[in-house]
Amino acid sequence: MGRAVPDQGGRGPCAKKEQQATKARMDQRTRERLPVLPVLQRIAAERRKSMAALLEGARNAPPGQAFECGDDVFRRPAPGTDKQHAMVWAEHAATGLRRNLTREERDSFWAWAAIEVLSRTGIRVEELLELTHQAITSYRLPSTGELVPLLQIVPSKTDSERLLLVDPELADVLSTIICRIRMPDGTVPLVPAYDSYELTWTPPMGLLFQRTVAGQNRAFTAAGIREVIKQTLEATGLTDATGDPLHFTPHDFRRIFVTDAIINGLPPHIAQVICGHKKIDTTMGYKATYPTEAIEAHRAFIARRRAARPSEEYRTPTDEEWDAFLAQFEKRKVSVGTCARAFNTPCIHEHACVRCSLLRPDPAQRHRLIEIRDNLEARIIEAKREGWLGEVEGLRVSLAGAKDKITQIDQTLAHQAEAVELGMPQFADLAGRSITTARTQT
């Protein structure tokens, strides 16, 4: 048998098969992790809150005394027995296990922060580590004057800067991180970081992902991010198809972000810009492909999608197309909140907003939803009295939706009650002098 002749790109059949096998493994990895991502996010949030409560309880307990947290009983060490005076330790009363609560609370917080930011933005881990306080900016829509929050991603792998839209959930995460790292005087500590690609140290910056180690503020590393995520995964007990513990890498969140975005209707060439890819093939390579059975079951859906999305969309978008993508936010405002349906998709509920799960209710419109709820209850009573049974069923669906939106508003208000006003960001230079930096508007 003769030797295989390489193709024009200099890659023979073996290289192509290896590439296809790698793509198949990555797709399978994404398919395993995409369904369990909400579980990971929920447990990370619960773990952060429980560890914060445990640490607060330990700080309030006198040394040598027992204290309760949930269903467990802990005991503060007697005076003079702490291994490190800067750390808060506690012993589990039942098992006698000695725990460093300061470190556990710190790691649980940063695991939650990393998981939320990576999963909601799809950025690379090196871009995550380079986020600063000044990366949070805004854009004012010229037609309505509405301010749209943006996250500035500095050049990294592709040496190209880009801006990402910030949804309310991501805004809450970034606000919580800033409240965490700010010093008592309101400034953000400036810390240097080591660039593993350039092999140089960066100037001191107000990095978002920094932590206190041995009394000093230090920037996170990629290994540190992977370690705190690993600790949270161990707490979840999630397993893969073989029953082994499930592992997440920071890049898994990027693949999941691309797959979920395109599946839910985001045009691939828009996803390419958001992810900072130079070629659309790279973006489509991140999207996981599903088995033939699933494709066959959705043949009719794919046919409609092909008709609505021609192949010419698989290219770099023009300035007009990008402006049209941004313009969708001008039409998302409704009377009781904001519509969050995907770009260029119709309203499946025919603008019956209280029934729609994509409506983000505005807390300021709670009184309007109360009026809608009371009106629906009165109409249900009238329909039952008049025997309009078909009308009753539809009104009950709308009533359930209105009550759900009121519950969402109440939860949002309870969460906002814990927030802290950030004010104008201030930084301290190496000499300890305060530097006030105003946010820029794009």
Written as six digits, the tokens of 255 are 């693949």
Q: Which residues of 414-433 are buried (b: 16+ CB within 10 A; e: fewer)?
A: eeeeeeeeeeebbbbeeeee
> Any idea of the CA torsion for 77, 80, 81, 82, to the nearest 10 degrees?
80
Q: What is the pLDDT of residue 189?
A: 92
**What distance in Å separates the CA atoms of residue 68 and residue 410, rounded to the nearest whole number?**
29
Helix %, strand %, coil % of the chain (to 5): 50, 15, 35
Length of the chain: 442
Q: Are the CB atoms for 189 and 210 separated by under 8 Å?
A: yes
In order along its 442 residues, the chain shows pLDDT tens digits of: 344 444 444 556 678 888 888 888 898 899 899 999 999 999 999 999 999 999 998 888 888 888 888 778 888 887 655 545 578 888 888 888 888 999 999 999 999 999 999 999 999 999 999 999 888 888 887 877 788 888 988 776 666 778 888 888 999 999 999 999 999 888 899 999 988 777 888 899 999 999 988 778 899 999 999 999 999 999 888 888 788 889 999 999 999 999 988 888 888 888 888 888 888 888 888 887 665 545 555 566 656 666 666 666 667 778 888 887 777 777 777 888 887 777 777 776 666 788 887 788 888 888 888 998 999 899 999 989 888 888 888 888 888 888 888 888 888 888 777 766 666 666 555 455 544 444 444 3
Q: What is the pLDDT of residue 222?
A: 93
Q: Are the CB atoms for 161 and 155 separated by under 8 Å?
A: yes
| pTM reported for the whole predicted model | 0.67
Q: What is the pLDDT of residue 438?
A: 41
* Helix extents (H) in 276-345: 280-286, 292-297, 299-308, 319-327
Domains of the chain: which residue ranges? Answer: 23-46+104-305, 47-103, 332-416
226 phi, psi to nearest 5 deg? -60, -35
Residue 98 host element (H or E): strand 98-100
Q: What is the pLDDT of residue 424?
A: 61
Q: What is the pLDDT of residue 208?
A: 94
3-state secondary structure of 305: helix
**What distance in Å separates the CA atoms of residue 249 and residue 255, rounded to the nearest whole number?**
10
**What distance in Å separates the CA atoms of residue 353 and residue 347, rounded to the nearest whole number?**
9
Which class would CATH give 23-46+104-305?
mainly alpha
